Structure 1
Amino acid sequence: MEVDSVPGGNSVSSAIPSNTMSAAAAASCAPSSKLTQLSESLKLEHQFMRVPFEHYKKTIRTNHRIVEKEISSVVSSVVDVADSELSPGDAVQRLNSLVFRLQGLKRKLEEGGLAENMQAQKCRARIDHLESADAENLCEWNNTRLKRILVDYMLRMSYYDTAEKLAKDSDILDFVDIDVFHEAKKVIIALNNKDVAPALAWCSENKSRLKKSKSKFEFQLRLQEFIELVRAVKHLDAIAYARKYLSPWGGTYLKEVQRVMATLAFKGTTECPTYKVLFEAKQWDYLVEQFKQEFCKLYGMTFESLLNIFLQAGLSALKTPFCYEDDCTKEDPLSQELFRKLAMPLPFSKQHHSKLVCYITKDLMDTENPPLVLPNGHVYSTKAMEEMARKNNGVIQCPRTGDICNFSNLVKSYIS
């Protein structure tokens, strides 16, 4: 007897555009199982739509800041020229420089407008892709989705060239976030090279949003810069740096500031456990991981890659105590040792109901096709036993053990 467990619990629910469900409604003539599968698949596409939209909003905010800054500066310069007693020649020269500045602003706005249009088109392409999903092309749609998930995993693991090649070959560049991850690539490479400047610039670009989420990433970067000055025995520079960059954080993270200031009394080679950890190289690895988390939060991404999430969900749904028994059927993926290792830290599936599947016919055993128990204890479906008895003049042979008995010796089992 095979037991195919059905996991219980609530399905994943995330906000998605309402018009993405029109595809499922249009496919009402398709089998209900496929429609249900399609509906559940679309519920998992929150990140698919959120990331390009957040990128689009960020580009708009950046362009808006550039305009505000340049216009404010130009207006201020015009007022200064009007109030000053310059000769006509000097005034014309100052105004010409302002004209050149405005022309430069125009070029920046044109470039920004192109970037906005490209990102708006990407959002439109993703909406169209979700709307194109229906029960008829579900297999092809899921294949595209698998490639998207693989590209997402490669980008998170910093396999940028491989991810880009797969996206180009599969013609899914509009469905993946390569341009977004290239923004993170510069910061990650710099942090791995013990350089915090690009990370601080990224914090400055996203200051308002990081402040809103109460992020302490910029503070961690400042602490690390201070530690590097202490490591280089530049104590005066470290004190000046602390006054300028760490003191504003004192009201929020006083204990951390006091702890790091105490390193001025120690060398980078100290053996004191409290301060030795601050000089260890793994602090840079911690900053890389911290940046990845802040980056994902900023764009509405999951912290774990989608590949890991789907694998864990699938393995957990399949995992039952029966999977680890010696007589576990070979058709169960968790009968394989590698899958068992992957599933080891995951919880067992939460089961509200179980299905009994016939070993011979693979049909479901229920009230219409009840299970029959052989004298040796093995269970098969009524249809399978009747078919075998019809072919062998009422004789039944167990396909697992080879034991032989008459059909009349079988006992019906009841499912409660």
Structure 2
Amino acid sequence: MDSVAKEFGRLQKNGKFDRIIEDVDEMIKRLERVRNTIENVPRSRREELAILKSETKEWANKVNESQKEIHGSLSKYAKSLDKKFKVDIEGAYNQNAFPASSKRLLDRAIAMHLIREGEFEVADQLIKEANLDIPNELELEFMNMYRILHALERKDLGPAVEWAALKRDRLALTSSELEFDLHRLQFVHYFTYPDGSGTRLALDYARNNFSVFGERYLPEISKLMCAFVFQADVESSPYALTFLSPSAWTDVARAFTKEFCSLLGLSSESPLYLSAVAGSIALPTLLKVGSIMREKQTEWSSANELPVETLLPPSFQFHAIFVCPVSKEQTTDANPPMMMPCGHIVGKESLDRMSKGNANMKFKCPYCPNESMPHQAVRVYF
């Protein structure tokens, strides 16, 4: 990789794109000046054109010299890349794995990826040309998400707090901590004003907003309140980690995106992006398999699974197996995992047995003293 880095550095040094652009801009200005002079003083046409001809020739020579330098550097960089990465990735391609009849699915995946990335104009054009059935309401939802994320970039928590308050009941079903995290970050933001002027703002904010979280987050709220004792030097206090996390804004933006997509029934990451990354990780293995198959004159016979096992990071494992702790049986689509209000999870069949099939019957959680009814349980997707 050292040779690639060396040629890239040389391209950056010799690629004088800015100088060429400046020369072109200067020539355009000169042409405009000549045109204006000729229009206002017709008798100067011959003289001005003669000067312009000479300047144009000189300018063209300068641009050609600069282009030679850029072309040479680009050529060497391309050769360095070809030498280092001389791989034909078509060897990992199986044309039967994605038949032509599935093109519409690919178009939809691309359009959804564009919407999720905030490229709404491009997505609209693709949806129109491919005649896709993606509802406009979904695009409006993601427009709202990006509006809130842009506000978070400006350290404006107002839109996110407002959204979390509107979705409080639905967030509570998944035991989400997002709303409290947003309020806590706003408190910390006030408390850590450089000039100390935000202390009163932080106290007033806590009085107005923390009461609704008292039952669930009392220990965390207590820590925030005790920090007032150390406000002169919070960095060396026991609450420094609570207040001075450098990634707090990034973390809350990531948590907001995850919860927002979850309420839409979508994953927090674009499936197309994850597929591309997973494919990149698996590519060396697939290329090796393709090479072996060509040597042995065999074919990749299955379109639904890979011919070899590909190791992916834990973050790419989306289909974890859950075994009901009561029945000791693996959950399925017919017997999905269900989370009770207390946060414990059992299989649906176990839930029905504990409630004796009565949707309005209270039953005790097998792991804690809390009681609930079957209709309060929500399905969990791993």
TM-score w.r.t. the length of structure 1 is: 0.41
